[in-house]
Chain A
Amino acid sequence: MPTEIIYTIEDRAGRTATTSVKLPSVEPKTRVNTFNAAFANALDDLIGGVIRSAMAVLQIDISAITGNLEDPDSDVEDVGAFEFLTATGNRVKLNLPAVDELFVDNSSGNLDQTDAQIAAIITMMEDGIAVTGGTIQPCDIGEDSIVGTLFARERFRNSGKRSIN
């Protein structure tokens, strides 16, 4: 799947619209930035609105993931609600759709943090994931690193979007 750069443009009435351009998925970040500089300038000269943002969207190949099947009881409104704390005290939420009921303590509604799958999520969020050349540590929108977990519990919320029927 190509990498897509999505531009958001604002008009005189304050309304926004998007347009996009696609590049080969093999292009690295530095070259996408080079392309963006040229394309954003060409677009800017063509239009009367102002470009408010540019976002590169990479599609990730997940075909190698194991155990990735729909369970007959799955419901995305049955959520595993995680809340984490950043180094400066900001709260960060992670909502896992269709959390497996096996992880839920029915007396409290808390997720069992000693269970391997739940523990793996918490470890990922607190300690990051090792990648080639470093570790990527989850953070909040201002890039403040997550350092701890406040809670992990089951929650029901009307969050699903029906895609068929």
Chain B
Amino acid sequence: MALATTVNFVFRDQKGKTSITKIRVPSTFSFAQYAEFAESAAQILASASQAQLVETSVSVALDLTGLGLKTTIALFADIYQKALFTVRTAVSGLFSKFNFPTLDDGMVLPNSDVLDTTEAAVAAMQTIIEDGVADGTTISVVDSRGNDLTEVSQMRELFRKS
């Protein structure tokens, strides 16, 4: 069964409280079509509410079937054990970070918290973050401001609450 796409609307009232409402729609439409729907629906809902609509987003479930991902959780898997990737952006002085939970111990250099870049999985992740994914033209990875990520400056093991 396909999982419907969700359009989310966040309202804020005069007291500063926020509340969210959702509309589900079929999963078969394009991102551009969802954007059209969301903007029209936002106007309709905002017109009937005394609160201010402060955020609208669309959540689209991506299909993981057929990707060959593992289905068995490793004995050591712990969400507190993470791989930290610190990445430079195209804007000098701006960095971005990734925390990947349940890091595989085998990716860490002995007697160190540094990830082993000779491990294929570590190198592959570094390549995707720095160079993106080719699909005709490149699909780049960016930071929250849309700046291209250029160079991984640090990769290490980290223990942190999730």
| Complex-state Cα separation, A159 to B70, whole angstroms | 38
Contact assessment for B46 and A65 in the assembled complex, using a CB-CB cutoff below 8 Å: yes
Known: A22-B144, A97-B49. A75 touches B15 (CB 8 A): yes
| Complex-state Cα separation, A35 to B128, whole angstroms | 9
Give the distance to chain A from B16, nearest Cβ to Cβ, in Å.
Answer: 4
Within 8 A of B (CB), among A121-153: 121, 124-125, 129, 131-134, 136-143
Contact assessment for A136 and B34 in the assembled complex, using a CB-CB cutoff below 8 Å: yes
For B3, list chain A residues within 8 Å (CB).
141
Give the distance to chain A from B17, nearest Cβ to Cβ, in Å.
Answer: 3
Give the distance to chain A from B149, nearest Cβ to Cβ, in Å.
Answer: 9
Residues of B contacting A: mostly? mixed
Chain B residue nearest to A160 (CB atoms) is B17
| Complex-state Cα separation, A55 to B14, whole angstroms | 32
For B32, list chain A residues within 8 Å (CB).
28, 132
For B91, list chain A residues within 8 Å (CB).
none
Q: Judge if A105 is at the interface, Cβ distance under 8 Å.
A: no
Within 8 A of B (CB), among A10-33: 10-13, 15-19, 21-25, 27-29, 31-33
Known: A15-B162, A58-B31, A121-B45. A46 touches B104 (CB 8 A): yes
**Size class of the contact patch on chain B:** 35 or more
Contact mask A23-57 → B, CB, 8 Å, 1/0?
11101110111111111111111111111011111
Q: Which residues of B contact A (CB under 8 A)?
A: 1-4, 11-19, 21-27, 29-53, 55-64, 67-79, 83, 98-105, 107, 120-122, 124-125, 128-129, 132-133, 135, 139-144, 146, 162
Beyond contacts A19-B99, A61-B39: 15 other A-B pairs, Cβ-Cβ < 8 A, are A1-B144, A2-B142, A3-B31, A32-B31, A49-B101, A55-B59, A56-B62, A60-B42, A129-B36, A131-B33, A132-B33, A133-B33, A136-B37, A162-B16, A162-B17
